[in-house]
A and B are shown apart, each in its own frame.
Chain A
Amino acid sequence: MSAPLRGLLAADPVVATAGVALFADALRDQAVPVVDAGWHPPLPGTEAALAAVMADPRRVAANAEAVARMTAAEAVLVDVLPASEALGLERGTFLHAGPPVTWERASGPMRGALVGAVLLEGLADTAEEAERHLAAGAFDLEPCHHRGGVGPMAGVVSPSMWVYVLRDEVHGNDSWCSLNEGLGKVLRYGAYGPEVIDRLRWMGEVLGPILQQAVRSVGPVDIRAIIAQMLQMGDEGHNRNRAGSLMLLRELLPGMITTDAPATDVAEAVRFSGANEHFFLNLGMPACKLATRAAEGIAGSTVVTTMARNGTDFGIRVSGTGDAWFTGPANTPEGLFLGDFGPEDANPDIGDSAITETGGIGGLAMAAAPAIVKFVGGDVPFALAATRRMYEVTVGEHPMYQVPILGFRGTPVGIDVTAVVRTGELPQINTGMAGRVAGTGQVGAGLVTPPEQCFTAAITALAEAAVR
C-alpha cells in the first residue's frame, strides 16, 4: 500500500494557492515551489449555486463520462437525402439555427432565410406574401437541434433541401446538416433573391443526387479522420476549412465523376464543390453534433452539449440538465468586414456552427490555425493563447484531434459550466457575420463569445438538480 494521504508527509511539498497573495509570498520566501491560481470572484451571484454543483458527488465521474463519450463518438458520412426523407420533415415546417425563436423576435437574416425557404417550397409567390404567412404563424418553426441536426448561420432547412446524413455506430445516433451553398449572397446569411433560390433549386435537383450517388458508391466516409488531418494542415474546422474541403472532395471525386448524371452537371457539381472553401463545414458540424449528442443526458455532468445562436439569442444546453436551453442575448462578433461593410451592418451572432467549439474544434482549436488571427488583427501567440485559455475551462483533451504546434496536444474538449462561471472565461467562437438587414448576405467574419447569462442560468439549474 502506498503512503497515506498520497504521500503528503513524505514528499517535499509543492503548493497551489487560491486567495491571499501574502501566503504564496510566504511560501516563496521558504523556497517552496508555488503556483498561484490567480483567483478572482466567479460571475456575480453564482457562489451558492457553484458550491452546490461542485459538491455534487456525481460531477467528476459524470464529466469524465461525458468527455469519454464525446471523444469516442464516430462520425461517418453514410448518405445524402432530401430533408423530407432523412428526417421526415413535413411541408410547412421550417427548421432553423439556435434555440427556439418566433418570427416576431427573429433577426433580419433569420427572417430573410425563412422567406427564401418559403419561396423555395412554393408556399408563397412573393417575398411579401411569404412574410405575411410567417408573421401570421402559418408555418411551424423548430430548431434543427430538436431534430438531431445542425444548420450553419440561419440554418433554415425545408423539406426539399438535401442534407448529409452521418452516423455514430458506437452510440447508435444519427445527425445531419444541410449542403453548403458557398459564400456571398446565400440563404444561410439571409439572402433570398432569385439567384439564391435558383441555386437552391439546382442544389436539390442536380448537386444533391450527384452527392448521393457519390457517397453511396465511395462511402461511407470517416469524417473524424478528415478533421484529425485538417487540424494538422492549418484548419480549425469552423472558420477555416480549406484543407478539410479539399480532402473531402478527394474522397468524393471518384464517386461524383462516375455518376449517371450528364457530364456538364457533374462538371458544375465538382466546380461548385471545389470552389467552396467551406465545403467541409457542413460535415464537420454534424460530426461534432454526433460527439455532443453522445454526451447528452448524463446526470450530474456540467459539460456543455450545445452552443447555438438564432441571431437574437445565444442558447446552450448542458449534459446534466437534458433538453433545457439557457439563453441570453447574442453578442455581435468582432472581426474583418467584406467590401464596404462595417460593424453597424453586422447582425448579432447566428448559427449552429458553434457546435464545432462544443465538440472541441473551431475556436477552441485556434492554435491549429494561426492564419485565423488575420480576422481580428491579432498575432500568432494570440491564437496559441486562445486554445491554451480553453484548456482552463474544459474537462479533457481530444485523443484524435491534435494541435501540432502545441506538441500534438489534444484539443480542449468538454466545456465545463463550472469552470466558465468560476473564471469568467467564455468559450472562444470563430464565426462568420451575417448582414443585419434581411437579404444582405455575409458581411464579414470574426470572433465572438456567448453571453454570460447562458452560463449563470445553467449553473442555477445544475444546482437545482444537484445531489447533496
Chain B
Amino acid sequence: MTVHVELRRGAYHDSVSLLQVSRAVAGTAGVQAAQVAMATELNVEVLTGMGFAVPGAAAPNDLVVALRADDDSGLAAGLAAVEDALRAISQSSAGTGAADEVPPATLGSAVRRSGATLALVSVPGAHAVTETYDAIAAGASVMLFSDNVAVEDEVRLKDAAAAADVLVMGPDCGTALVGGVALGFANVVRAGPVGIVAASGTGAQQVMCLLDAAGVGVSHCLGVGGRDLTAAVAGRSTRQALRALAEDPATGWVVVVSKPPDADVLASVEHQASGLGLRVHWAILGAGRADLTAAVEAALAAEGVDVPAWPATTVDADAAGPQGPSLRGLFCGGTLAEETMLVAAETLGEVRTNLGHDPGLALGPDLRHDGHVVVDFGADELTRGRAHPMIDPTLRMERIAAEATDPTCGVLLLDLVLGHGAHPDPAGELADAIRDARDRASAAGRRLPVVVSLTGTEADPQDRAECARVLAAAGASVFLSNAAATRHAVALLGGAR
C-alpha cells in the first residue's frame, strides 16, 4: 500500500469542482481512497478521519492531494487522474487563450466587462459580502447563493442595492428564474403569468413544480432570502421585487412563498401590493397555516384554474413484520424539511429537528434521537466548508445507512429535488441507497417503508417521471406534493404507533 499527501500552495478550486475531482480519482483502478480538497478546518478533519496525515503548515488556501493506492503504479495512475481532472476544471473556465488576454479578476470587473445584468455569488459565506458589494457597485442585481451571511450585513447590502436600483436575491437563495433563465438550483417550468417571490430555495421549487403540474407557467421567480420578511430586514427585497413584477408585462399574478413573516412587515407589504394593483397570493409556512400544496391549490382556485390530482406513486404495503415507532425525515431542502416538520407535528406531536425553532425539540450535534426526527442537511452549520447536500449527498447517504440498522426508525421520508444545478442522476444513487436500507432492515427482521418527496418537472434534465419510476422500483412511494408525501409517511407509521 502506498500513501501520498501533497500540499499545493495557491491552487484554489471551489469545493464542488474538487468533489468531482476526488470522485474521478477515487474511481481510478489501483486507488483505494482519494481526497482532493482545500485544506479548510473541516476538510483537514475529513482527511484525518480517512487516515491521511495532513502537514501542520496547511492553510485554507492550500490544495491537499491525498491518495492511498495499492502500489506505486496505482499511485501513479491516481496522480495522473488528479492532473487530468484538475486540467479539465481549468479548461472549462479558460478564455480564448490569446497570450495577452487577461480574464476578469473580480466580480465587479466581470460585470463591467460583460455588461452583465445579474451576478451569481456562491463563494464561501465569509467572502460573500465583499463580492456582493462589488457587484452592486458595478450595477448588477445579485443572486446570493452563499449562506452564513449576518443579518446586519444583509440589511446594509439590501439598502445599498436599493440605492443602486438593483436587487439582492438572498442570502441563502438557492433558486431563481429571471427572464426564462434558471439560476442556481432551478426546475425547468413552462413560461406563464405567475410571478413568484420566494424566501429561499426548495419552497419556491415546490411551488413552481406544483404550478407546472397544474399547467400554469411562471414569468419570474425572484428569491429574497429567508429573513426578508422578518422585522430586522423589513421586506426590503420583497418590496423591490413586487414593484418590479407589477411593472412587468409578462406577470399577471404573484405568489409569495415565505416563512411566517413579521405581522407589521406583512401588513405593510400587503398594503404596498394593493397600491401596486398586484394580485398577491400568500404561501406562508408556519404552525397552524396551510401547507404549500394547499396554498397553491387556494391560489389556483382564486385564479379560476382547476386543481389537478398531484402526481403520486404508492407501493403496495410491505409484508407484515415489526416496524420501528418513529418518523425519520432526512432532507436536503430546508423549506421542504420545515413543511414536513409542521405537517408531521399535527399528527405526531413532538418532532425533533435542527431547524432552529423550539430549543426543547432541538437535536444535539449528532442529530440523532429515538423519537420523530426531521434533519435539514442543508443547514448552515452542516454546509460550512462543504458543498450543499444537493451537490454532495455524502452526509445524508451515511445517515440513511445508519437509519437502516436503527430499530427505532419506522419510516424513512426523503426529499429529492431535480433541476439545473442538481446531481445529473440523483434518483439512481438514491434508489440504490433505499434498496440497500430496506434490505438491511429486512435482514434484521424489520419493515422499513420509504417515502420520497420528488420535486421536479418532466422538462427537467433528469426527467421527473423517469426518476419516479426508478425510485418506485426501489420500493419507495413517490409524491410531487411534499405535504402529501409527509401525510403518507405519517400514515405508514400508523400501525407501528
Contacts and interface: CB of A to CB of B under 8 A. Distances in A.
Interface in A17-36: 17-27, 29-30, 32-33, 35-36
A42 B60 CA distance: 11
Contacts of A10: 179, 248
Given A3-B247, A18-B121, A22-B391, A385 B102 contact: yes
Interface stretch (B10-18, B225-233, B321-329, B394-402): B10-18
A25 to B, nearest CB: 7
A7 B117 contact: yes
B332 to A, nearest CB: 15
B390 to A, nearest CB: 10
A6 B244 CA distance: 10
A400 interface: no
B106 A8 contact: no
A194 interface: no
A422 B130 contact: yes
A192 B123 CA distance: 55
B220 A47 contact: no
Nearest to B62: A44
Nearest to A383: B100
A55 B89 contact: no
Nearest to B388: A20
A170 to B, nearest CB: 27
B96 interface: no
B16 A22 contact: yes
B89 A419 contact: no
A21 B118 CA distance: 16
A392 to B, nearest CB: 4
B375 interface: no
Given A17-B119, A23-B183, A385-B101, A9 B245 contact: yes
B127 interface: yes
Nearest to B112: A16
Interface stretch (B134-142, B196-204, B277-285, B290-298): B134-142
For chain A, the bracket of interface size reads: 35 or more
Contact of B107 (A24, A37, A381): A37
A419 B117 contact: no
B145 A44 contact: no
Given A11-B117, A14-B117, A5 B105 contact: no
Contact of B135 (A16, A24, A27): A16
B114 A18 contact: no
A201 B120 CA distance: 64
A382 B102 CA distance: 11
A254 interface: no
Nearest to A19: B122
Given A21-B92, A29-B420, A6 B165 contact: yes
Interface in A394-443: 418-419, 422-425
A418 B120 CA distance: 20
Contacts of B107: 16-18, 37, 39
Interface of B is mostly: mixed
A20 B129 contact: no
B443 to A, nearest CB: 37
Contact of A14 (B89, B115, B250): B115
A379 B99 contact: yes
Given A55-B133, A419-B106, A422-B130, A4 B247 contact: yes
A27 B421 CA distance: 9
A14 B110 CA distance: 11
Given A5-B141, A41-B61, A51-B153, A15 B160 contact: no
Contact of A54 (B61, B102, B133): B133
Given A23-B120, A389-B102, A11 B60 contact: no
A153 interface: no
A393 B129 CA distance: 19
B420 A19 contact: no
B178 A8 contact: yes
Interface of B: 10, 12, 14-17, 59-61, 89, 92-93, 98-107, 109-111, 113-124, 126-127, 129-131, 133-135, 137, 139-141, 145-146, 153, 156-157, 160, 165-167, 178-179, 181-184, 219-220, 240, 243-245, 247-248, 250, 387, 391, 420-421, 461
Given A20-B122, A22-B16, 6 more contacts: A16-B110, A22-B17, A30-B420, A51-B153, A424-B10, A468-B156
8 contacts: A9-B179, A15-B120, A16-B107, A20-B17, A20-B387, A29-B420, A379-B99, A384-B100
